[in-house]
Structure 1
Amino acid sequence: MLQTIIAIIATLALIALWIISTQRKLVVLDENIGNAMIQIGVQLSCRFDALTALLDLTKGYAKHESETLIETIKLRRSIITAKSTPDDVVHQEGLISEALSRIAMLTEQYPELKENQNYIKTMNAEEIFENMVRTSCLIYNDSVTKLNREIRMFPVFMIAGILGFRQRDYLEEKEHAPGCRWRSQKAE
């Protein structure tokens, strides 16, 4: 009888240790996703700063258009945090893409703007930040893959939901679109 009780206690202790170990591993994976989303937010913020600088440069050529765009960006811009979703990133990227398209139309109307050294430098900076967002999105997706894979594997899937972990959505780059135009892809 005593041996049975000891065996039951030992089994329960092993199960408890396994649950604790699994929970800790899932927390690390979840934190990596949050960190990757914060990095996307930092890079998007830098892109918005470059975009604002571009709009300031266009004021001398099309004051009303650039002021309207600046106000639109201020109203619709949101900060990407660890709790943000891929849809939030997609929305912010869409806002940047829309503004860049309008700036491109302005530069077609004013060729001297295209040759302005400050404009060229700012466009180069914007492209660098765009590439950094792309890299951050790839890191985010890699982190999501690791968590989703872990959650779907036996025996973790039996307790992941109970512990409050769920599969996360991916960011997927749209095909045939210039630059980093991301869209949300739901996890299966």
Structure 2
Amino acid sequence: MKISWIIIFLISVEVGWLYNRMIGLKKRAEGAWSDVDVQLKRRHDLIPSLVTCVQGYMQHERGTLTEVTLARQSAQGVHRVEEKGVSEQNLTQNLKSLILLSERYPELKANTTFLSLQEKLTDTENLIQNARRYYNAVVRDYNTLMGQFPHLIIAKIFHFQPLEFFELEEASEANAQKVNLL
């Protein structure tokens, strides 16, 4: 009788430990996503200033400015990780187009406000990439743990779900590194 109580106790301790480990990783992933979201919001907040700054110089490029503004609004309205990746990719492409168009306007390139905004945008893009990499690493660890015995049993019992990676196209990562926004 005493041995059965010891076995029940040990199993309970093991289940509790496994459950807490999975909860801990899930909370780390939530915290990491929060960091990504903060950086995305920071980028979203820079866009109105950037659009306002270039409007006076790029009067013939209204379509591009409108596309950037609409892409920002679309990205702000999305909450699921997978959808956020698609909308942020669209925003990145529109920002890239805006920056490339600015090359045609020497007065704009000399504007200190524009240069400052470009620098802030470049810094923010780097912070987004770092936060995204950390988030995806934590998600990978969590999802891997969910597939390993005995964690997969605990995951099924307590209805843990796999988390989604925050993916951007490889091209956008290359552009973020190659296109010097300064």
State the TM bucket, normalised to the shorter chain.
0.7 to 0.9
Return the structure number with greater strand share: 1
Alignment-derived partner of residue 164 in structure 2: 169
Q: Aligned partners of 2:8 and 2:78: how far apart in 1? A: 42
Alignment-derived partner of residue 34 in structure 1: 30
* 1:12 counterpart letter in structure 2: I
Return the structure number with greater helix share: 2
1:150 corresponds to 2:145: yes
Confirm or deny: 8 A CA contact 2:39 2:127 kept in the other structure: yes
* 2:176 counterpart letter in structure 1: G
Q: Which of 71, 74, 77 is equivalent to 1:76?
A: 74
Q: CA deviation at 1:169?
A: 3.0
Q: Which of 146, 149, 155 is equivalent to 1:160?
A: 155
Q: CA deviation at 1:113?
A: 1.0
Shift in CA distance, 67/153, structure 1 to aligned 2, threshold 3 Å: closer
Q: Aligned partners of 2:100 and 2:145: how far apart in 1? A: 47
* 1:41 counterpart letter in structure 2: D
User: 3-state DSSP class of the match of 2:161?
Assistant: coil
Say which structure, 1 or 2, has more relative contact order (CA 8 Å, 6+ apart).
2
* 2:124 counterpart letter in structure 1: F
User: 3-state DSSP class of the match of 1:61?
Assistant: coil
Deviations 1:72-112 (A, max 9, x none): 1453132676xx42x13312322321321331243133222
1:119 corresponds to 2:114: yes
Shift in CA distance, 151/125, structure 1 to aligned 2, threshold 3 Å: same
Percent of residue pairs identical: 22
What pairs up with 1:20-59 in 2 under 5 angstroms?
Answer: 20-59=16-55
Q: Aligned partners of 2:42 and 2:124: how far apart in 1? A: 6
Confirm or deny: 8 A CA contact 2:86 2:168 kept in the other structure: no
Q: Which of 165, 175, 178 is equivalent to 1:178?
A: 175
Alignment-derived partner of residue 180 in structure 2: none
Alignment-derived partner of residue 98 in structure 1: 93
Q: Aligned partners of 1:138 and 1:71: how far apart in 2? A: 27
When the two chains are superposed, the root-mean-square deviation of aligned CA atoms in Å is 2.4
Q: CA deviation at 1:19?
A: 1.1
- Structure 2, unpaired ranges of 5+: 178-182
Count of residue pairs brought into register by the alignment? 173
Q: CA deviation at 1:49?
A: 1.6
Report the TM-score when normalising by structure 2. Answer: 0.81
Deviations 1:11-48 (A, max 9, x none): 22221221111111111100000111111010011111
